[in-house]
Amino acid sequence: MRIVIAGGHGQIALRLERLLTARGHEAVGVIRNPDQGKGLRDAGAEPVVLDLESSSAQEVAEVLRGADAVVFAAGAGPDSGAERKETVDRGAAVLFADAAELAGVRRYVVVSSMGADPDHPGDEVFDAYLRAKGAADAYVRSRTGLDWTILRPGMLTNDAGTGTVLLTASTGRGPVPRDDVAAALLELLETPATAGLTLELISGNVPVAVAVKDIAGN
């Protein structure tokens, strides 16, 4: 498969690109900073420079045309303010969804966040982040032209992946290594029957491939 990933230089995205390449897929990473291209090439991915905050849906669709699936893994980052949560975490996810539909790419996988909710209360930047992610998720779920899956990991860590997780509609809070999030994304992409599911992910005791197989079609 040819998979295009928004936020291609992110920590989860780079891990996913390596896994996709190892599995024989073609990974394309969308990045804003051309200096990040080497990191993507080292991960086996093809870099495409495109600013999702200033591009049109038609421009993004040209990049997505011919893809088998897209992954939205972009984010404004922990040092950004509430305004960029709106333009990246919500706006770019919506743009990527619109572009996927224009390009005729049905499979759309979103890396969201546990607690994402368009009506989340609070005035802190993290509250704005959860509202933005929740609004993006709601938009994606409304698109009948997309076979979407939304993955909401728990607290992300850089611990080595264990290869075992808990993946259900509601897991409760807990940590999960980024390695295991990337592994789950790979399996979700290869399992079309997970379309239409919003899933939470934390560390657990079920092998990733088995966890995805078990939830598919539910």
152-211 pLDDT, tens per residue?
999 999 999 999 999 999 999 999 999 999 999 999 999 999 999 999 999 999 999 999
Q: Which of 111, 201, 72 is nearest to 215 (CA)?
A: 201
The alpha-helical segments, DSSP class H, found in the chain are: 11-22, 37-42, 57-64, 82-84, 93-103, 125-141, 178-189, 208-215
**Calpha distance 120→136 (Å, rounded):** 13
Asked whether 212 and 163 are in contact (CB, 8 A), the reply is no
pLDDT tens digits along 98-148: 999 999 999 999 999 999 999 999 989 899 999 999 999 999 999 999 999
Q: How many CB atoms lie within 10 A of CB 155?
A: 12
Q: Which of 11-20, 73-82, 173-182, 209-218 has the lowest mean pLDDT?
A: 73-82
Strands in 26-31's sheet, in edge-to-edge order, are: 46-49, 26-31, 2-6, 69-72, 107-111, 147-153, 197-203, 164-168, 206-207
pLDDT of residue 141: 96
The residue-averaged pLDDT of 41-58 equals 96
Confidence of residue 218 (pLDDT cuts 50, 70, 90): confident
CB count in 10 Å sphere of residue 84:
20
Quick check: pTM over 0.85? yes
How high is the pLDDT of residue 6? 97
Average pLDDT, the chain: 95
Residue 45 DSSP class: P
Contact status, residue 179 vs residue 156, Cβ threshold 8 Å: no
pLDDT top residue among 89 and 14: 14
Q: What's the half-sphere exposure (Cβ side, CA atoms, 13 Å) at 103?
A: 26
Active-site residue, 139 included: no
For residue 79, pLDDT beyond 80:
no
Which one of 129, 137, 151, 212 is the catalytic residue?
A: 129
